[in-house]
Amino acid sequence: MRALLLIFCMTLASCTAHIESPENRVEQFYLFYLNAFVSNNHQDDLDSAQMRDFVANDTRLRLKEVMSIYEQEIIGADYFTYAQDYAPEWMAGLKIGKSQDYMGGEALEVRLGCEGGKSYPLKVYLRLEEGKWKIYRVRAGDGYEQDIFDDKAIAAARAYAATIND
């Protein structure tokens, strides 16, 4: 029995030892995403292999659902940057904070560079999915969040789209 428990613990330890840190995952995501965002190469499409690797499945599916609604006003800016545009020279200002435990996952601050050498904060939330830390939620630094998980807001957007789409 002890031998079985020891084997189980060693197996568990070896599995968790290969999980990349939340900080590294978020940094890799934003380096990829900002380059794709500014180059418009479509690698940041929600169904791309890279997005599936970095973003939680339900978040990707919810973003796709919301963006499919005609004239929706739920997503007013890019979900991962909370910006309309981004300039390549701002990427050098990317800073990734230390992760903290948050409701069974991790949360950390990301500072995106912007014009004039300044930066602005985002709060990025991750959870383990498919053995990797994946982004499931992003908020602006002031706490504002686009309502992609608000079923009432989505229903209202669909109802409004039906009235103008006829």
Q: How do residues 12-63 score in pLDDT, each as one tens digit?
A: 444 455 889 999 999 999 999 999 988 877 777 899 999 999 999 999 999 9
Average pLDDT over residues 126-145: 95
Distance (Å, rounded) from C-alpha 44 to C-alpha 35? 9
Distance (Å, rounded) from C-alpha 120 to C-alpha 122? 7
CB atoms within 10 A of CB 106: 21
* Reported confidence tier of residue 71, pLDDT bands at 50, 70, 90: confident
Distance (Å, rounded) from C-alpha 113 to C-alpha 111? 6
pLDDT of res. 43: 74
CB atoms within 10 A of CB 153: 16
pTM, two decimal places: 0.84
